[in-house]
Amino acid sequence: MTKIIISILAFLLMIFPNSKYLIEAHQARTNTLSIVAPQIIDAIKTRNVAALESFMCQNIKHNVNDLRDEIGNMLDAIDGTITEATWSRRGGSYSESRSNGRKISQEGFEITLSTSTETYVVAIRWETINNFQPKEARARYMILLNSDVEVLIRISATNGISEWHD
């Protein structure tokens, strides 16, 4: 049934591409943490730079110089073979709704990566819904931290994010 609803929403979005209600409904069903977190984990495990780039919001894509190199640096900073990867919600959420139907919703989550030599955390601020600017509904930042909670790599949007805190 979910696939049918998503297909109908996608079709309606082709006809009404600027409908804030259709955009929100589609994003709420296709851009959730339960869907994207395992995909991001898989991209990290397989060292798929292009896939990780596709998870970045438009702001990051436009404002981070050499984004592919930065993603490569993040993957290179993970020492050892990944033996386990899990994700959990962390960092709270943010939501803003306006009377005109505009909505933004962000959630924090983290991926814990255990390797043969170290444990890492990838902290992510994920924008689940944005019917103001739909291309921004992706990762607003990804931060790689080691077991000492030192920031190794930070890939971040230049605006529109709430910060990750320990």
Domains of the chain: 31-156 (3.10.450.50)
Is there a contact between 149 and 48 (Cβ–Cβ < 8 Å)? no
User: How confident is residue 12, by pLDDT bands cut at 50, 70 and 90?
Assistant: low
Q: What is the pLDDT of residues 91-103, one digit of tens each?
A: 778 888 777 778 8
Q: What is the pLDDT of residues 47-73, one digit of tens each?
A: 999 999 999 999 999 999 999 999 999
